[in-house]
Structure formats: C-alpha cells, structure tokens
Amino acid sequence: MDFNEKLKQLRQSKHWTQEELAEKLFISRTAISKWESGRGFPSIESLKAISQVFDVSIDELLSNSELISIAENDKKKQQQKFQRLLLGILDCMTGLLLFLPIFAQTQESRIVFVSMLQLSPETAALKIILSIFIILTTLFGVYEIMFATSDQTSVIKISLILTLFGTLLFIMTRHPYPSTYLLIILAVKGLSALDKR
C-alpha cells in the first residue's frame, strides 16, 4: 500500500476530515488533499508529525522508495535555500562598495584610494548613478535573504544580471578595483548557479 492510501486509511479510521487532520498537523487542508491523492509527499518534519498524531512509525507510513524520494526532495530544497542565502549575502556585500577605499582619485598630483562616498565633487553625477546601483543591489540581497525559502528561479537570474550590469558599469567608469570586486562576486554566483544544475 502506498503512502497516500495509508494516510487516507489512517485518517478515516479516526473519523477525521481532511480539515481536522490539517489542524492537528498545523498545515493546510490542500496539503492533505495533495498527499492523499498521490500528487506529492510531506516533508520530513510533516512525516514526524503524522507519525506522532497516528502513533505509527515512519517506516509503517512509507515504503523504501517513498522514503528515498522524500529525502531527495528535502535535500534539494535545502540546497536551493542555501543557494538563495548565498546569493543574498553576495548581493548585500555589494553595499561594501560605498565604504571600501578602493576608488582611485588624483589628489595633489598623486593617486589616493578613497571610498565612493569620499569621491571628489566633480563626479557627483557618477556617484549618484553608482550609489543607486549599489543600494538597489543591496536591497535585492536583503529580499533574497528574507525570502530564501521561496521557489523562484527568476531571483537567481535577476541577481546574476544585476552583478553583471554593475561589473560593466564600473568597467565603463574606469574603476578597476570595484570592477574586480564585482567580477569575483559574479564568478561565485555563476559557480553557484552551475552547481545547482
């Protein structure tokens, strides 16, 4: 007997509706419906709760192949969550460009390194454009960290595009060190995206 049939049989033996079981497991009724119709499996945490509610072991609920499938799905979700957290942290690290003294500037016939906030007033328009990019990327990183569990492949693409755009922007403005910094971030993101496949 498959998991979906066992779950339905256990629920009906207690004379519970799907709503009542969902309340006991602190999940939605649609999740119960999905599991009972065989369209998916619960997470490991939900399986533990189901085994406690019905006082049966997880081995009694699942066959070996079903258990392997659930473990693989959980592992995949954890990897995706880690990847989104990594991308979020890398995007937040872009905010350091405001404060790191890696911008070259001539000062009294010599070159000094200053933070972007300390760039000379002649470059005010450039500072505004670069600051907007840095702030937007940092805010996007915060969004990625806050919603790391959501399943959005578009977030990965946006993150890569933002960093690529920033790298090109700093290359065009002839700032090699910030360009290199963003290029390293882009490389880490690219490797992370390739590793996912």
50-92 pLDDT, tens digit each: 999 999 988 888 877 777 888 888 888 888 888 888 999 999 9
51/24 same-domain check = yes
d(CA 118, CA 105): 10
At residue 2, the pLDDT reads 84
Asked if residues 116 and 97 have their Cβ atoms less than 8 Å apart, the reply is yes
Same domain (yes/no): 35, 116:
no
Specify whether 184 is located in the same domain as 121: yes
Determine which of 3-12, 112-121, 156-165 has the lowest per-residue pLDDT on average.
Answer: 112-121
Segments forming the whole domain that contains residue 47: 3-62
Whether residue 70 lies inside any domain: the answer is: no
d(CA 111, CA 96): 21
Residue 72 lies in a domain: no
| Final residue of a structural domain among 62, 88, 111 | 62
Write the pLDDT tens digit of every residue in 29-53: 999 999 999 888 888 888 899 999 9
CATH number for the domain spanning 48: value is 1.10.260.40
Q: How far apart are alpha carbons 42 and 62 in whole angstroms?
A: 11
pLDDT reported for residue 16: 93
Residues 96 and 21 in one domain: no
Same domain? For 97 and 34 the reply is: no
Residue 47 lies in a domain: yes
- Provide the domain count of the chain: 2
Q: Which residue has the higher pLDDT, 120 or 179?
A: 179
Residues 53/81, Cβ–Cβ less than 8 Å = no
Considering the domain architecture, whether residues 34 and 107 belong to the same structural domain is answered as no
For residue range 141-185, list pLDDT tens digits in order. Answer: 999 888 876 666 788 889 999 999 999 999 998 889 999 999 999
Pick from 121, 6, 2: nearest CA to 56: 6
Closest listed residue to residue 164, CA positions, set 91, 104, 99: 91
